[in-house]
Structure 1
Amino acid sequence: MFFAMRRKWTGLIAVLALASQVLIGCGQAVRSEGEAAPKPSQEQLQRVELLNQTADEMYKKVMQGDVAGGKVVLQQLSDQVTQIRFEGITSLEGINALTETVTEAKKVFNAAQFSQEEGQVSTAKIRLATDALTHTNNPMWLQYYKLLLEDVEGLESAAKNQQKTELQKVYRNWEQHYGIIHPSLLISRNPSDVEKLDSLTVFMKQQILSAQDPYTQMLQILPQVRQSLDKLFMKKEATAYLPMAEPQNPILWTLTIGSVILAALIFAGWRLSKKDDGLVTVRKPEEG
């Protein structure tokens, strides 16, 4: 009898312990749902807007051939970046992308032999990156979608016709166009989505440079490249990445699920306690 009652209470305690874990998990989920993302202060927004204006000034000077003036403005921009708190504006990956872009531009402009093309590319990267910080809904880098899509179509055409020279040429265009908006993507989009397209880009390069017959692999991977593009640029045709509809009241939904699970556990505990009145039959081994 003692062992039967002990088993009964042990089962109930286990059920109640599990139920408490459910309630704790639901409570944590409710707290996480209720936590709002930090909003940038007015001072932060003003500093970022000033940064964007400085980048625009630098871009205009460099494109007009005033390299010395662009270099001076670049230093001003570099000083401004260190004085801005980016919490609530972009992710850690976005901050790193911005600072690395500015650092790379300083290397280009301080090189012993300045390259006009590299200077313009690095300036364009900065201009698009600062614009992405200030225009979250409609940044300028979205204009690159058509250009990148044309690159994908060019890669597909070259692969179908097995034209390796043309394939290499179009890939270089893709690499440059994608590289220009890469910092902006990390500022504006989910870093994991950007990393996926990064991996696809590296794979394409490996196939083009190393494989004697890269055409089959390219034709197989280009649909994934197109889908990643559509997701990053938020195009409706990216049907493979349609988000799941979220409940209108996630906190209420979380509590409802927790209540259902808890009720099921309590019922299971009640049945355990009622089974054979909590007694466990012990049979003696048959003699002989």
Structure 2
Amino acid sequence: MKLKAAIFFIVILIVAPVTIQANHHISSIEKLDQISDEALQLVKSSRYDDAKKLLEYFSNEFLAYTMENHGFSIDELRIVTLAQNEAIEAMGNGSMDHDERINRVTKFRLAIDAITSTNQPLWTEMERPMMTVFGGMKDAAMQGDAENFHSHLNSFLSLYEVIYPSMKLDVPVQRVQQIDARIHFIDEYRPRVLAEETGLQELVALETDLRDLFNQMSEDEADPSLWWVIITTGSIIIVTLSYVGWRKYKGNKERERAKKRM
């Protein structure tokens, strides 16, 4: 009995520190995720100064975590740092409108979730708004409706920009590059997409790539505790991006008219 007790005691001494370290690791990761979500809620409430302070606090916590755990790759650190810097810059930019600030911090929020979540990442729940906007763009192209095509395409690009860092964190680089190349082609050669059959074929190919991507990424179920974040983030995008895209399109039109007058 004394031998069994001694063995049990030794096992406890070995296992306990590992368990404590694992719990510390989980709590640190969850803290980073929580800070990013709180920053997004502050921005939604137009509390930009508070959001900036929280984002700067995140920077210190993120640095401390990476120094202690070495849990992220160089690419992950680069992508997250870039998204964070853009979010902080947006908080200090007095000329940037509210919707764009939300988009910047949403991009950061989704990137943090992509590197911290063990379930289906939040950015994959953007499939419905993204494909809805894409459907409007495709329909407009098929009907030759240039104005609606440009408006929907601008909205689609805004949404794509929000999830792009998260995609790079979760999706193989070759697949991201393939989707990115198709999107850049459609954006760069808008008149050809509207006027030529090959343009419509490119839209169909992109639609297939996007659906395959989301289907593959949706194999795991999302953590139920994150559904409220998914719903609020999706609502932000659905409500704001169509307006942002339309305004961007109108702005481009105004610049074209101004050039013609010169």
TM-score when normalising by structure 1: 0.61
**Which consecutive unaligned segments of at least 5 residues does structure 1 have?**
1-39, 237-288
Match of 1:146 among 128, 138, 141: 128
> 2-side partners of 1:88 and 1:231: how far apart?
33
Match of 2:213 among 232, 235, 239: 232
Residue identity in the other structure for 1:109: M
Between stretches 119-128 and 106-115, larger displacement belongs to 106-115
Residues 181/89 of structure 1: CA separation in 2 closer, same or farther (3 Å cut): farther
Question: 2:39 maps to what in 1?
Answer: 58
Question: 1:107 maps to what in 2?
Answer: 89
> 1-side partners of 2:141 and 2:72: how far apart?
38
Question: 1:159 maps to what in 2?
Answer: 141
For each residue in 1:18-57, what CA deviation from the matched residue of structure 2 results, as whole angstroms up to 9, or x when unmatched?
xxxxxxxxxxxxxxxxxxxxxx965544332211111111
**Which structure has the greater CA radius of gyration?**
1
What's the offset of the Cα at 1:137? 2.5
What's the offset of the Cα at 1:82? 2.2
Question: 1:13 maps to what in 2?
Answer: none
> 2-side partners of 1:47 and 1:156: how far apart?
44
Question: 2:12 maps to what in 1?
Answer: none
> 1-side partners of 2:70 and 2:55: how far apart?
25
> 1-side partners of 2:200 and 2:52: how far apart?
43
What's the offset of the Cα at 1:212? 8.4
Question: 1:131 maps to what in 2?
Answer: 113
Residue identity in the other structure for 1:146: R
Asked whether the equivalents of residues 90 and 188 of structure 1 are also in contact (C-alpha less than 8 Å), the reply is no
Asked whether the equivalents of residues 159 and 216 of structure 1 are also in contact (C-alpha less than 8 Å), the reply is no
For residues 29-40 of structure 1, the aligned pairs below 5 Å read none
Residue identity in the other structure for 2:204: P
What's the offset of the Cα at 1:63? 0.7
> 1-side partners of 2:200 and 2:35: how far apart?
43
Matched, 1:219 2:208: no
What's the offset of the Cα at 1:234? 3.0
Residue identity in the other structure for 1:84: Y
Asked whether the equivalents of residues 132 and 140 of structure 1 are also in contact (C-alpha less than 8 Å), the reply is yes
For residues 228-267 of structure 1, the aligned pairs below 5 Å read 228-235=209-216
What's the offset of the Cα at 1:156? 1.6
Asked whether the equivalents of residues 36 and 112 of structure 2 are also in contact (C-alpha less than 8 Å), the reply is yes
For residues 165-204 of structure 1, the aligned pairs below 5 Å read 165-204=147-186
Residue identity in the other structure for 1:232: L
**Which consecutive unaligned segments of at least 5 residues does structure 2 have?**
1-20, 218-262
Residues 193/62 of structure 1: CA separation in 2 closer, same or farther (3 Å cut): same
Cα RMSD (Å): 2.7
Question: 2:51 maps to what in 1?
Answer: 70
Residue identity in the other structure for 2:150: Q
Residues 213/171 of structure 1: CA separation in 2 closer, same or farther (3 Å cut): closer
> 2-side partners of 1:93 and 1:234: how far apart?
25
> Which is helix-richer, 1 or 2?
2
Asked whether the equivalents of residues 192 and 199 of structure 2 are also in contact (C-alpha less than 8 Å), the reply is no
What's the offset of the Cα at 1:114? 4.0
